[in-house]
Amino acid sequence: MEQFGLWVAAFLTLGIYSFLYRDNPWYKLSEAIFVGVSAGYWVVVLFWDNFYSKFWLGHSEDPWLWVGAVLGFLMLLRLVPKIGWISRWPLAFIVGATAGLWMMNYFASNIMAQVQNTVMPLFGSDFSASFTAIVSNLVIVVGTFAGLVYFFFSKAHTGAFGATARVGIWFIMITFGASFGYTVMSRMSLLIGRIDFLLSDWLGLIQ
């Protein structure tokens, strides 16, 4: 049975990879299996892990679970066109509760902590900072300030303000370039994992 599973996995892996050449029936079959199985899998997982284990088994000990169950049911009423408006209430509850719970945390982490960590002595104590440290400090302060200017929507990007915004977008793009390279490396590791599966687990060419 394990061998059968290996062969099915290899067949579907190569089917998905065949898309790199062009769309073909092999890819269509693999795609259809992937979509169908994943949709069915999530239905089962969400039912047993959420509804059954969290609500059905626990509702007698924790009556508050009924609140969640009722809200969840109301959300499903969106599927009934005539009373679909009722689903806005649980959605409003979720969005509002999430915003309220996280608002102060986001203020603290995304505004206060960021400002505090951006402020620094550019030249160190008694001008003791090295050249590298001074450059690093300037990059942080100038980059943060210019980036904030770029995302300021209440003023047009003209004159000195526009020039600063331009500096900001340069910083942002350079950062994105570094992030791109880093993420591509991690995606390569995923590819290596699949190639390892094909050559090692399936074909046994690599020990």
Partner 1 sequence: MIPGALCSFFLALLIMLPLAVGAFAQTEDSAVADSITAQSPQIEPVTSLVAQDFDYDNGERIELSWVPSIDDRLVDGLVTGYEVFRTVDGGEPERLAVLPPGANFYRDENGDVNSVYSYYVVALGDGIPGVSVRTAPMSPEREWVNVDRAYLFLIALIIASAVIFFVETARRGKKLFIRKIAGLEAIDDAVGRATEMGRPVLFVPGIHDMDDVQTLAALTILGRVSRTIADYDSKIFMPVSRSLVMTAARETIKASYLSAGRPDAYNDDMVNYVTDEQFGYVAAVDGLMVRERPATIFLLGAFFAESLILAETGNSVGAIQIAGTARPAQLPFFIAACDFTLIGEELFAASAYLSDEPKQLGSLKGQDVGKGIAMFFVIVGTIAATIGYAWDVDFVNSVLTWFNEVFSTN
Q: Given the rule CB under 8 A, which residues bind partner 1?
A: 16, 19, 22-23, 27-28, 30-31, 34-39, 41-42, 75, 78-79, 84, 87, 91, 94-95, 98, 103-104, 107-109, 111-116, 118-127, 141, 144-145, 148-149, 151-157, 172-173, 176-177, 179-180, 183, 187
Work out how close the CB of 207 gets to partner 1 at its nearest, in angstroms, rounded to a whole number. Answer: 30
Work out how close the CB of 160 gets to partner 1 at its nearest, in angstroms, rounded to a whole number. Answer: 14
Of 125 and 207, the one with the shorter C-beta distance to partner 1 is 125
Of 81 and 204, the one with the shorter C-beta distance to partner 1 is 81
Q: Identify the three-state secondary structure at position 60.
A: coil
Work out how close the CB of 74 gets to partner 1 at its nearest, in angstroms, rounded to a whole number. Answer: 12
- The letter for the amino acid at 85 is W
Of 58 and 177, the one with the shorter C-beta distance to partner 1 is 177
Percent helix, strand and coil across the chain, each rounded to 5? 85, 0, 15
3-state secondary structure 131-172: HHHHHHHHHHHHHHHHHHHHCCCCCCCCHHHHHHHHHHHHHH
The answer to whether 44 and 55 are in contact (CB under 8 A) is no
Of 42 and 73, the one with the shorter C-beta distance to partner 1 is 42
Of 91 and 203, the one with the shorter C-beta distance to partner 1 is 91
Work out how close the CB of 198 gets to partner 1 at its nearest, in angstroms, rounded to a whole number. Answer: 18
Work out how close the CB of 73 gets to partner 1 at its nearest, in angstroms, rounded to a whole number. Answer: 13
Of 151 and 203, the one with the shorter C-beta distance to partner 1 is 151
Rounded to whole angstroms, the Cα distance separating 11 from 203 reads 12
Work out how close the CB of 183 gets to partner 1 at its nearest, in angstroms, rounded to a whole number. Answer: 7
Q: What's the length of the chain? A: 207
Rounded to whole angstroms, the Cα distance separating 58 from 67 reads 13
The answer to whether 150 and 176 are in contact (CB under 8 A) is no
The answer to whether 65 and 59 are in contact (CB under 8 A) is yes
